[in-house]
Structure 1
Amino acid sequence: MEFRKGLKDGIPIALGYFAVSFSFGLLAVKGGLTSFQAVIISLTNVTSAGQFAGLKIILAGGTLVEMILTQFIINLRYSLMSLSLSQKLGEAVGIKERLVIAFANTDEIFAVAMGHVKELTFGYMIGLQLLPIVGWTGGTLFGAIASGLLPKSISSALSLALYGMFVAIVMPVARKSRPVAVVALVAAAISCVLYYVPIFKFISTGIAIIISTVAASVIGAIFFPVGTAEKKEVQ
């Protein structure tokens, strides 16, 4: 019963993941990876922002150090999400089951799980995660296959889906929260400076992502502490 409930709740997530991962498969193959490599990356990672950032570093010939640091920073939020989710899991969910659940504790799955009115069971979580994993991996496969079939004009247009995804994620939150809007603009500004100013040309893509992320986060923490930001939004 709980498993079927999880499956039902995971359908919208799976559909969304299919659309986004289609773009990942498309970009990966266009960049020189094989379809098999693209699918394996999606199947073993299940992380949109991390995979797209990692793909960019791979295609740019970045180092393992850049990859590790970039993934650490981008995916650090999952550790906090997992800590929060663990508080809602039932006592019957042991350490082995928790390790399985942790594999696909993505932003969307976490949000749905935390909104579940009942105590979370292993059956529900497996059901909730199953279809999104299939959707993410399947979308990558179809995107990889389509890269060799679609006209160049359509492929180029679909490549913009990544930027649309990021805009769709950031804009609704930025419109409601001034601190988020400021931090996002600061990160974008720093990234543009590192990319376009000739003196910074020696900085690789991976390091530029790290610098932009850390710098914007520090500025946000200094000027918009959590307590202060919450008070302003309440007012």
Structure 2
Amino acid sequence: MKKGTIVDFRDGCRDAIPVCLGYIAVSFAFGIESSKIGMSVFQAIMTSLLNVTSAGQFSALEIIARNGSFIELAILQLIINLRYMLMSTALSQKLDPELGTGYRLGISYGVTDEIFALSVLKKGKLYPLYSYGLIFISVFGWVLGTGLGAFAGQIMPQRIISCLGLAIYGMFIAIIIPDTRTSKPVLMVVIAAMALSTIFTFAPYLKAISSGFRIIIITVFVAAIAAVYAPVKEEEHE
């Protein structure tokens, strides 16, 4: 059973530097948002350290702000982060079959979109020490940005904080727009999600549903429709 060497750890740290810099920028916005709902710097940092999931953390803030139920929060996180289960399954194919559960759990902690991409592109077997290098530097950037954002949110004027809070919307737009220009199914999914979100916000009875459950319902419904009418074919995936 090969666990890798210090060279693998160093390579992982080196490859994760761009991810670290990107994480600082995004998590700074999360820190700002967390301070707006009254979370302390320590609470914001621990949230990032224990979760390491941008979409999951941002979506949880609204539920936390209104003291939503744990069930609502758990279901929301399960749906939003479900893709990490698929990523972990794919990464397990690159690990030594004899690798122990402890090492696998350590790697699973840091499975994010960016770390998954770097791990998949790594030629040959995936050694734990390489993954730990990726995770160490990436999570450092994620936690550092969160701490800086949360601290800034406590000392900066409210007007500036509100402006910086718009960064998260800019990030989501930057993620969505490129794919909508090249893929009609993605464009239709975005339009459908926006339309349903508007309906749930203003329609009688439906607007009484909490925002957390709205996201859950819309996500499941739109994803199911897209899977039926615009499935990803095997050859396209490859």
| TM-score scaled by length of structure 2 | 0.92
> How many Å apart are 1:70 and its aligned residue?
0.4
Kindly provide the amino acid, as one letter, of the partner of residue 126 in structure 2.
L
- The answer for the alignment partner of 2:4 in structure 1 is none
The match for 2:84 among 68, 78, 88 is 78
Give the Cα–Cα distance (whole angstroms) in 2 for the partners of residues 229 and 188 of structure 1.
30
* Structure 2 runs not aligned, ≥5 long: 1-6
Q: Once the 2 structures are TM-superposed, how far is the Cα of residue 92 of structure 1 from its aligned partner? A: 5.6
Q: Which amino acid aligns with 2:184?
A: R
Q: Report the Cα distance in structure 1 between the residues aligned to 2:21 and 2:76, rounded to whole angstroms.
A: 27
Question: Does 2:134 align with 1:128?
Answer: yes
Which of residues 93, 96, 101 is equivalent to 1:87?
A: 93
Q: Which shifted more, 146-155 or 32-41?
A: 146-155
Residue 44 of structure 1 aligns with which residue?
50
Aligned residue number for residue 119 of structure 1: 125
Contact 1:88–1:119 (CA under 8 A) maintained in structure 2: yes
Q: Where in structure 2 are the equivalents of 1:97-176 lying within 5 Å?
A: 97-176=103-182
Structure 1 counterpart of 2:200, one-letter code:
L
| Percent identity (aligned) | 46
Between the two proteins, the alignment pairs up a number of residues equal to 231
Asked if 2 retains the 8 angstrom alpha-carbon contact of 1:62 and 1:205, the reply is: no
2:185 aligns with 179
Moved more, 193-202 or 112-121: 193-202
Give the Cα separation in 1 of the matches to 2:134 and 2:96. Answer: 16
CA contact (8 A) 1:23 1:162 kept: yes
TM-score, length basis structure 1: 0.93
Give the secondary structure class of the aligned counterpart of 1:226: coil
Separation in structure 2 between the aligned mates of residue 127 and residue 19 of structure 1, nearest angstrom: 20
Change (3 A) 1:221 1:229: farther
Report the equivalent of 2:30. 24
Q: Write out per-residue CA displacement over residues 13-52 of structure 1, whole angstroms, 9 at most, x where no aligned residue.
A: 1111111111111111111111111111111000000001
Whole-angstrom distance in 1 between the partners of 2:118 and 2:182: 21
- Aligned-partner Cα distance in 1 for 2:186–2:151: 37
Alignment of 1:200-215 (within 5 A): 200-215=206-221
CA RMSD of aligned residues (A): 1.7
Name the aligned partner's letter for residue 223 of structure 1: Y
Q: Is the 8 A contact 1:93 1:121 kept in 2?
A: no
Shift of residue 189, structure 1, vs aligned partner? 1.4
Structure 1 residues 193 and 229 mapped into 2: Cα distance closer, same or farther (>3 Å)?
farther
SS of 1:89 mapped into structure 2: coil
1:68 Cα deviation from its structure 2 partner: 1.0
Q: Distance in 2 between matches of 1:191 and 1:61?
A: 22
Q: Distance in 2 between matches of 1:100 and 1:72?
A: 20
Q: Which moved more, 1:203-212 or 1:116-125?
A: 116-125
Distance 1:66 1:126, change over 3 A: same
Name the SS of the counterpart of 2:16 in structure 1. helix
Deviations 1:171-210 (A, max 9, x none): 2222222111211221121112111224322100110010
* Residue 14 of structure 1 pairs with residue 20 of structure 2: yes
Deviation at residue 151 of structure 1 after TM alignment: 2.8
Q: Aligned equivalents of 1:158 and 1:53: distance in 2? A: 17
Runs of at least 5 residues in structure 1 that lack an aligned partner in the other structure: none
Per mean C-alpha deviation after superposition, the further-off stretch among 199-208 and 145-154 is 145-154
For the 8 Å contact 1:46–1:133, the answer to whether it is kept is: yes
Cα distance in 1 for residues equivalent to 2:169 and 2:31: 15
- Cα distance between partner residues in 1 of 2:169 and 2:162: 12
